[in-house]
Structure 1
Amino acid sequence: MYDVTGFQRDLLYIIAGGDEPHGLAIKDELEDYYETEIHAGRLYPNLDTLVEKGLVEKGQQDRRTNAYSVTRRGHREIDARTEWEAQYVDHSVSVNA
């Protein structure tokens, strides 16, 4: 996952956590996380990049709405990233300590 931006990684995680979310649902989740408006001009080109890289599949929910899902490769990349992070971050440590 070395060749994706942090924003694209966040997109991938949101898609992985959803049930084939559509663009607006992904946008809403990002806006909650970033606490700022995410414009379509930023969102959709980054989603398309993830599709081009083979990490995400884009399907149609209806004529106007695309739905997104993580590919097997995308899941492998998420798993590899999680293992890499675990080398450096101890998730068992309490933040309130």
Structure 2
Amino acid sequence: MFDLTGFQRDLLYVIAGLDRASGQSVKEELEAHTGREITHGRLYPNLDVLVNRDLVEKGQIDRRTNYYVVSDEGVDALQQRRDWEDQYVDL
């Protein structure tokens, strides 16, 4: 997780919170949270990075739409990140 960008980590967290997230649903969720537009040129290459690093699995809903789910490796990475953060943030 430490070699991912903040945006890539945000994508991973959003995908983990959605059920079979499409790229469009991830985009809409992040835009609603940040109040900033996310272009396809930024979104999809970063989703591909997560897929290529085996943190996210990509499947096909139909000919035009893919879905994304966090892989077992991604779940482990998220948990390790949360454990690391908890060492420094005690709320």
TM interval, short-chain normalised: over 0.9
Q: Secondary structure at the match of 1:85?
A: helix
- Which position in structure 1 is the counterpart of 2:17? 17
Number of residue pairs aligned between Structure 1 and Structure 2: 91
User: For residues 36-86 of structure 1, what are the alpha-carbon distances to aligned partners after superposition, in whole Å with 9 as ceiling and x for unaligned?
Assistant: 100000000000000000000110011110000000000000000000000
1:8 paired with 2:11, answer no
* Unaligned segments of structure 2, at least 5 residues: none
1:29 paired with 2:29, answer yes
> How does 1:37-56 map onto structure 2 within 5 Å?
37-56=37-56
Q: Which has the higher helix share?
A: 2
- Which position in structure 2 is the counterpart of 1:95? none
* Unaligned segments of structure 1, at least 5 residues: 92-97
TM-score by length of 1: 0.92
2:32 partner amino acid: D
TM-score by length of 2: 0.98
Give the alignment's Cα RMSD to 1 decimal: 0.6
Partners of 1:29 and 1:88 in 2: CA distance: 27
Identity of aligned residues (%): 58
Deviation of 1:34 after TM superposition, in Å, equals: 1.4
- Which position in structure 2 is the counterpart of 1:89? 89
Larger radius of gyration: 1
